[in-house]
Amino acid sequence: MKKSDAIPALPKSATKPFFSENAITVLKRRYLKKSESGEVVEEPQDMLWRVAWTIAEGEKEFDKKADVKKIAREFYEMMAKLEFLPNSPTLMNAGRELGQLSACFVLPIEDSMESIFEAVKQTALIHKSGGGTGFSFSRIRPGNDLVHSTSGISSGPLSFMSVFDCATETIKQGGTRRGANMAILRVDHPDIMDFIKVKADLTKLQNFNLSVALTDTFMAALESDGDYDLINPRNGEVVKRQNARKVFKQIVKQAWLSGEPGIIFIDRLNADNPTPKVGAIESTNPCGEQPLLPHESCNLGSINLAKMVDDGKINFDRLGATVTRAVHFLDNVVDINNYPLPIIAEQTKANRKIGLGVMGFADLLLMLEVPYSSEKARELAAEVMSFVDRTAYEASISLAEKRGSFPNFPESTYGTANPTIPLRNATRTTIAPTGTISILAGCSSGVEPIFALAFLRRVMDDDELFEVNPIFAEIAHKNNFYSQSVIKKIAYNGSCRNLDEIPEKFRLFFESAHDIAPHDHIEIQAAFQKYTNNAVSKTINFAHDATIEQVEKAYLLAYESGCKGVTIYRDGCRDNQVLNIGKTDSKPAEEAAKPIKRDRPQSLVGRTYQMTTGCGPLYVTINDDDRGLSFELFNTIGKAGGCAASQSEAIGRLVSLAWRSGQQPEPIIKQLIGISCHKPAGFGENRVTSCADAIAQAIREHTEHNNGKRNQELHNENNMAFGACPECGGAVEHEGGCMVCHTCGYSECA
């Protein structure tokens, strides 16, 4: 029963879901049924009813007389009230032909061509079905190692990662959900230094998140400033000794530069492995929150904590009832899922792992007027998650009493103290990023802080449209400090912390991501991790001027505080990569027979400005004529022939043509400044939102140099956007290890 043959009509008395305008846009783009011509043929409530009915039909696996209609209605109501939503593949595919409902998969890769290319094939099938894949490449022999069968030399794990990357790039061209990968390499693999540095070139492995698996042995060597063994996985022999601090420094440096690699504490994952006799955990899903055995999958779902607040207090009765229903829902998914491979079905049903988490935590804190960086926030995190974990455990026991324990239960670490207690699911809780489903639920993502209380979106006719956090708007109106002036300042500054127009009481708890120190991010992650079976997806945000030493302290704090892994992102860090700067074939604008166009003199004098962009350093040269008027503009970025280089050259040619035809710099600045792309750089007044914006800022700086004064009007033109989505142009945020658009649901990772 993978696809419902006859779904009855939605009862007229059912709750009609209230989706925001953004949520409706996302639903139409990615979730609702479409005709062959691409026309949407399903209403949002019909989608939820399709999902609820299909999942409820899983009851027939255990009770032929089950009241499917009653259970479907319960499932529908918690989704329609936006109290709980399952992961995206379930919303997209339940009750439809594809029927693949899981988001997370881990595939094994052994040290053989047969295993490697079998994994490539399996990856293709999983990505086609809407899932993401994780791999450990740690079993592949290192580069330049002997291949006995051919008397040749091994190319090493990094070369095979490129094969997977190319396959993913091809597959993701179609479909409603992109395939994403996690590549993990153990820190004791001989090729570890090459793995750590591979993304110094951002053109490589673009469909992979990278994480280094740190062992307890490595961490002990790091603490004592000692060496540890690098081991050839082909034969288990020690290749050489390596200094732990040297390796760790390289990990930290590269993470500071690009946000990758992340780290996972592999021995800590295995210490919590519920079925160690079945196998060891070697990898996680693409965002790192779901450790899985080889060929396992997991289906996730999240409870909206913003819907669990009444009159300034958490309604634990409602939360408990929602947790119980959600565990029931996710357990049914295990049985009705149409798995992409028989071996995945077998392994998944043997352990029946589910991953119930939360979203809207930052909203809950705002509603309770609690600062994210406070001790009270950490106490609330622990209180909420311990309740969710305990209730999910009890719900799993209750299901096991009716349906039986998961088949591998005898091989489990559970039940050792009291083997008479059955358990339906090997794991129950996971904190996922929830990038897209939090848009549908209208809440903050996962356990991340609010990224921005307000930001500006400039539409085609140059109107300014401000997006404002609804909780902030409600409280600001209620307390008489809401105004367009305040909203504009927040959008420009990225924070309300220093705005005197807002009473200090509110400034304290209306924290955005960059108001929060990295150690406070980590302590929230650790508070949730303490009561989460699997792991916690969380981005540790750093300001652009953060030091390498601060990143190092954060990594060590994550280990000391009990986290299972950590991902950091330094604002605008992607522009610090060492790129091969090649000269573009820049030339003056093509001569055109127009009487107002000035001829170029044989020599001109000008200045060159280095601008930091998300595509790398951009060098803008502006030459003036003998009257001191701007005459031409050249720019160089990245490799000649690249998209950024060609677009920037095109802008330079048009600007030059405009100047040689008599145009002044100011209108050009106003046209270009504030244009956003998905790779912004910098923070505050130094923020560069695109290559076009960088060129505009260079022109502005040059004009102010020539005039000898600052033009405040031109500085106000910069809208300080957070980067633009490549699909819809909306603002993107870095959360859970991915860039996510809260307008259309685009995600780099899914």
pLDDT in tens, 511-526: 998 899 999 999 999 9
Given a contact cutoff of 8 angstroms between Cβ atoms, the answer to whether 570 and 256 are in contact is: yes
Rounded CA separation 346/412 (Å): 17
Mean pLDDT of the chain: 88
Tokens 């965002």 belong to which residue?
A: 287
The set of residues, in sequence order, having a beta carbon less than 8 Å from that of 201 and lying 6+ positions away, is 577, 579
Residue 292 has pLDDT above 80, yes or no: yes
- Cross-strand pairs, 567: 539
Averaged pLDDT, 38-57: 96
Averaged pLDDT, 737-746: 74
Predicted pLDDT at 595: 40
Rounded CA separation 355/431 (Å): 8
Predicted pLDDT at 266: 98
Mark 145-154 as b/e (b = at least 16 C-beta within 10 Å). beeeeeeeeb
Could you tell me what percent of the chain has a pLDDT over 90? Answer: 63
Q: How many CB atoms lie within 10 A of CB 45?
A: 17
Q: pLDDT: is 646 or 359 the higher one? A: 359
Given a contact cutoff of 8 angstroms between Cβ atoms, the answer to whether 27 and 46 are in contact is: no
The region of weakest confidence among 156-170, 381-395, 483-497, 563-577 is: 563-577
Predicted pLDDT at 571: 81
Averaged pLDDT, 548-562: 97
Q: How confident is the model at residue 724 (pLDDT cuts 50, 70, 90)?
A: low
The region of weakest confidence among 14-18, 98-102, 471-475, 661-665 is: 661-665
Rounded CA separation 192/17 (Å): 49
> Where on the phi/psi map is residue 123: left (φ > 0), alpha (ψ -120 to 50), or beta?
alpha
Q: How confident is the model at residue 206 (pLDDT cuts 50, 70, 90)?
A: confident
Q: By 3-state DSSP, what share of the chain in percent is helix, strand and coil, each rounded to 5?
A: 40, 20, 40
Residue 210 has pLDDT above 90, yes or no: yes
Residue 220 has pLDDT above 50, yes or no: yes
Given a contact cutoff of 8 angstroms between Cβ atoms, the answer to whether 136 and 184 are in contact is: yes
pLDDT in tens, 8-42: 999 999 999 999 988 998 999 889 999 999 899 99
The set of residues, in sequence order, having a beta carbon less than 8 Å from that of 432 and lying 6+ positions away, is 87, 103, 287, 289, 290, 300, 302, 355, 357, 446, 537, 736
Rounded CA separation 426/413 (Å): 10
Sort 342 into a burial class: Cβ within 10 Å, 0-12 / 13-18 / 19+: exposed
Predicted pLDDT at 492: 79
Q: How confident is the model at residue 730 (pLDDT cuts 50, 70, 90)?
A: low
Task: Give me the catalytic one of 22, 83, 260, 287.
Answer: 287
Q: pLDDT: is 171 or 312 the higher one? A: 312
Residue 632 has pLDDT above 50, yes or no: yes
Task: Give me the catalytic one of 289, 448, 511, 735.
Answer: 289
Q: pLDDT: is 141 or 414 the higher one? A: 141
Predicted pLDDT at 681: 79
CA distances from 574 to 199, 384, 677, 724, 741 (A): 10, 35, 13, 15, 18
Q: How, if at all, do strands 616-624 and 630-637 pair?
A: antiparallel
Predicted pLDDT at 366: 96
Q: How many CB atoms lie within 10 A of CB 282?
A: 24
Active site residue 285: yes
CA distances from 412 to 142, 273, 280, 294, 598 (A): 34, 9, 12, 16, 81
The region of weakest confidence among 184-188, 559-563, 673-677 is: 673-677
Q: Where are the beta strands (DSSP E) in 218-261?
A: 227-231, 238-243
Predicted pLDDT at 141: 94
Active site residue 511: no
Q: How confident is the model at residue 435 (pLDDT cuts 50, 70, 90)?
A: confident
The region of weakest confidence among 37-41, 118-122, 149-153, 630-634 is: 149-153
Task: Give me the catalytic one of 87, 93, 285, 469.
Answer: 285
Predicted pLDDT at 720: 44
CA distances from 440 to 19, 530, 539 (A): 7, 28, 21
Which of the residue ranges 12-26, 150-164, 200-214, 294-308 has the most confident prediction, judged by mean pLDDT?
294-308
Averaged pLDDT, 463-484: 87
Which of the residue ranges 550-554, 575-579, 706-710 has the most confident prediction, judged by mean pLDDT?
550-554
Predicted pLDDT at 443: 94
Rounded CA separation 285/184 (Å): 10
Q: Could you say which DSSP state residue 450 is in?
A: B
Rounded CA separation 244/552 (Å): 13
Q: How confident is the model at residue 174 (pLDDT cuts 50, 70, 90)?
A: low
pLDDT in tens, 650-697: 899 999 988 988 888 888 998 888 887 877 777 666 788 889 999 999
Phi, psi of 720 (to 5 degrees): 55, 40
Averaged pLDDT, 257-263: 92
Rounded CA separation 259/570 (Å): 7
Q: Could you say which DSSP state residue 357 is in?
A: E
Q: Where are the beta strands (DSSP E) in 423-553?
A: 454-458, 464-468, 539-542
